Amino acid sequence: MIIIPAVDIKDGKCVRLLQGRMDAETVFSDEPAEMAKQWEDQGAEIIHLIDLDGAVGKMPKNLNAIKDILEKINVPVQVGGGIRQLDTIETYLEMGVKRVIIGTEAINNPQLVEDACEMFPEQIIVGIDARNGLVAIEGWTETTGVKAVDLAKKFEDKGVAAINFTDIHRDGMQTGPNIEETRRLAEAVSIPVIASGGVSTIDDIKNLLLLQDSGVIGVITGRALYEETLNLKEAIAISG
């Protein structure tokens, strides 16, 4: 299982939010690239970048910070936040981003996902963020009536590289990941799933490792690393 450190960018800074609330942020660094380099130095194989301003503003807002990260680290990055058009995806990939995450548009414009998968094979991830099992969009400011599992099933056999599944109530709260909901989604589709939200300690990583046979291939973790309740090297070592 791949352990994926998260670098969330807001106003050009590395922050973490509580349950995705833009008014509940903690700034961990004024230099996101330095944080990404720190995680790379500790053994990260890939870095998860989210443009939080872009997610709310519906278009990339922190391109300079992301370019800086790409220039300073050598491991791949996946990027999400405000990705609504094919040309935005192309811009990111040309910059050197490995994979692009489509979230809101997976609900509003699923054809974009299909077109992107066709144009950029193995480089498109669908981000499914759920609140009480229902998909949330627009930077988590709106909750739809669509079940996370139902949305995931729509993209079977469309060429999606992976699904990032986040339980919003757990995100940034360090209350442990939603194991059962993650298992349910992973077992419902053949697309590999990356878990996110709630990771706090090494025990949470151990619990997620039990989901590998269900199709969970990775876990994204942020606040636990920044607040040092989880050691990245230790998590990577036990994840094989």
CA distance 51 to 62: 6
pLDDT score for 137: 85
Catalytic residues: 8, 129
Q: Where are the domains of the chain?
A: 2-239
Q: Of 77, 91, 66, give the one whose Cα is nearest residue 12.
A: 66
pLDDT score for 211: 98
Tell me the mean pLDDT in the region 150-161.
97
Tell me the mean pLDDT in the region 103-111.
94
Q: Which two tokens stand for residue 90?
A: 């192309």
Asked whether residue 95 carries a pLDDT value surpassing 90, the answer given is yes
Residue with tokens 């969009």: 137
Class of domain 2-239: alpha beta
**pTM metric for this prediction:** 0.92
Label residue 141 by pLDDT band (50, 70, 90). confident
Q: Which two tokens stand for residue 42?
A: 């500790």
pLDDT score for 10: 95
Quote the mean pLDDT of the chain. Answer: 93
Q: Of 82, 74, 113, give the one whose Cα is nearest residue 9.
A: 82
